[in-house]
Amino acid sequence: MNRAVAALFPLLFAAAAARAQVTPTPVPPPASPIPAPAPVAPLSPILTNPGLALQPFAPRAASPSGPSISPLDQQQTQSYRNDLNSRQRELDRQGVSPGSSQYRDIQQQLNQLNGGR
């Protein structure tokens, strides 16, 4: 048995040495002879001064906005819009022309509700 182990011992080292020689050596990346193009836009200030990213955000002056609409006002506006739509559908069913004054008045009120769309 000692002879068998002694005979296998050099074979194991030979196999390990053969595996170690198979790994290729690292190759450096190719270098282009053409120079890199200049950037079109300047670098971001955050890239040139990373401390800016750590500063707190400075709020801007709030733009004047219209009065906010309460949920009750929104419901009343939606109810009014629905009423105008149903009146307009009723005129359509009656065969009233879209050029009539009734139809135009309803359409104008709907346009005002929708912001002129």
**Residue 55 is assigned to a structural domain of this protein:** no
pLDDT tens across 95-114, in order? 988 889 999 999 999 888 87
Is residue 53 one of the residues assigned to a domain? no
Say which residues have a Cβ less than 8 Å from residue 111's Cβ, sequence separation at least 6.
117
pLDDT exceeds cutoff 70 at 13? no
Please provide residue 43's backbone torsions phi and psi, each rounded to the nearest 5 degrees.
-65, 150
* Residue-range definition of the domain harbouring residue 104: 71-117
107 lies in some domain: yes
- Give the model's pLDDT for residue 86: 94
What is the number of domains present in the chain?
1
Tokens 């002694």 found at:
6
* Predicted confidence band of residue 39 (pLDDT cuts 50, 70, 90): confident
Pairwise pLDDT comparison (1 vs 45), residue with the higher score: 45
Considering the domain boundaries, does residue 89 fall inside one? yes
The answer to whether residue 56 is domain-embedded is: no
The pLDDT score that the predictor gives to residue 43 is: 78
Confidence of residue 91 (pLDDT cuts 50, 70, 90): very high
Q: What is the Cα–Cα distance from 2 to 57, expressed in whole angstroms?
A: 77
Residue 59: inside a domain, yes or no?
no
pLDDT surpassing 90 at residue 10:
no
31 domain-assigned: no
- The pLDDT score that the predictor gives to residue 27 is 83
Please tell me the predicted confidence (pLDDT) of residue 82.
93
Determine, yes or no, domain membership for 37.
no
